[in-house]
Amino acid sequence: MQVRQSMHSDYFKQLDTQQIRDEFLVQPVFQKNDITLTYSQIDRIIVGGIHPVDKAVELTADLGESLGVSYFLERRELGAINIGGAGVVEVDGETFEVGSEEAIYIGKESAKIQFRSADPKNPAKFYYNCAPAHVRHDTRKVTLEEASPTTLGEAKSSNRRTIYKYLVPDVLPTCQLLMGMTKLEDGSLWNTMPCHTHQRRMEVYFYFNMADDAAVFHFMGQPQETRHIAVHNEQAVISPSWSIHSGVGTQSYTFIWGMVGENQVFTDMDHIAVPDIR
Ligand SMILES: O=C[C@H](O)[C@@H](O)CC(=O)C(=O)O
Ligand SMILES: [Zn+2]
């Protein structure tokens, strides 16, 4: 498990490209028949990928030393969205079929959790976010059709896109985790512009469905002090509360966002007018 410390925005201004990447870029997310884990001390989110190909992958970590518990979700909740082929998730003996673009929420106190692929030739890829939790909510699957959609933006500003909200209070209760996926229309390359910050939540963006020779220039930093980080396929970026999070692709892409913090009202954002960005 990799551990990332929290950071003050004044310190962030001094970082060079490599330092920004070391602190905020999460990669690789997927490794064959394995789980990857990055633990951010910002709201204690854990971010990673679970990629079972020809054997089952268990949700596990160095529990005693890294998490201080006897099983992973003893004091946590987890959300995962499958961006690969058909997958199967087993939670304490109950089986959930989680297909492409479907999500699963796994409640606190779920003890034995295994992920499998239905077909090793088209393996599942579960991108997950995991957060501290204090109440157990029911484990359930959420389909793309059930995810509450919002379409925003316009073709002329190259930001026409639909935000599918899988794990939000309108769909199901969670302790703090919010998760969804944003799909851009053909020719639209900007996400989250005009941009925002949210004092009451941190966020992680995970970019995928990208060509090998494509990049997303992801902008971060305080609105008046921005930097960029070049992100390639299946990589994630951590965004502290003081940071904007917005990107533009050299080619098409899709992304998953996940938020952790104290307020679950999706629209609780501090919007920044484009002329105010520096
Ligand atoms: O706080 C909310 C998140 O940044 C995303 O939902 C924004 C997003 O998907 C978009 O504008 O495309
Ligand atoms: Zn946001």
The model's pTM is 0.97
Report residues of the chain scoring pLDDT below 50: none
| Segment 19-25 long-range contacts (CB within 8 Å, at least 24 positions apart) | 20/220, 20/227, 20/229, 21/229, 23/238, 24/220, 24/229, 24/237, 24/238, 24/239, 25/229, 25/231, 25/235, 25/236, 25/237
Q: How confident is the model over 96-111, as pLDDT tens digits?
A: 999 999 999 999 999 9
Domain count, the chain: 1
Note the pLDDT of residue 62: 82
Please name the residue whose Cα sits nearest to atom 5 of ligand 1.
257
Q: Structural domain of residue 92, as residue ranges?
A: 2-276
pLDDT the model gives residue 61:
83
CATH number of 40's domain: 2.60.120.10
Q: Which numbered atom of ligand 1 lies nearest the CA of 161?
A: 12
Which residues, including other chains, have CB under 8 Å from residue 29's CB and lie 6 or more apart? Answer: 36, 47, 48, 49, 127, 206, 234, 235, 236
pLDDT in the model for residue 40: 98
- The pLDDT, as a whole number, for residue 203 is 98
**Nearest Cα residue to atom 11 of ligand 1:** 192
Q: Are 258 and 179 in contact (CB under 8 A)?
A: yes
Tell me if ipTM is over 0.95.
yes
Write down the pLDDT at residue 114. 98
Q: Which two tokens stand for residue 169?
A: 């209070």
Instruction: Supply the mean pLDDT for the chain.
Output: 97
pLDDT of residue 208: 98
Pocket of ligand 1 (CB under 6 A): 161, 163, 182, 191-192, 198, 203, 245, 257, 269
Atom of ligand 1 nearest to the CA of 259: 1
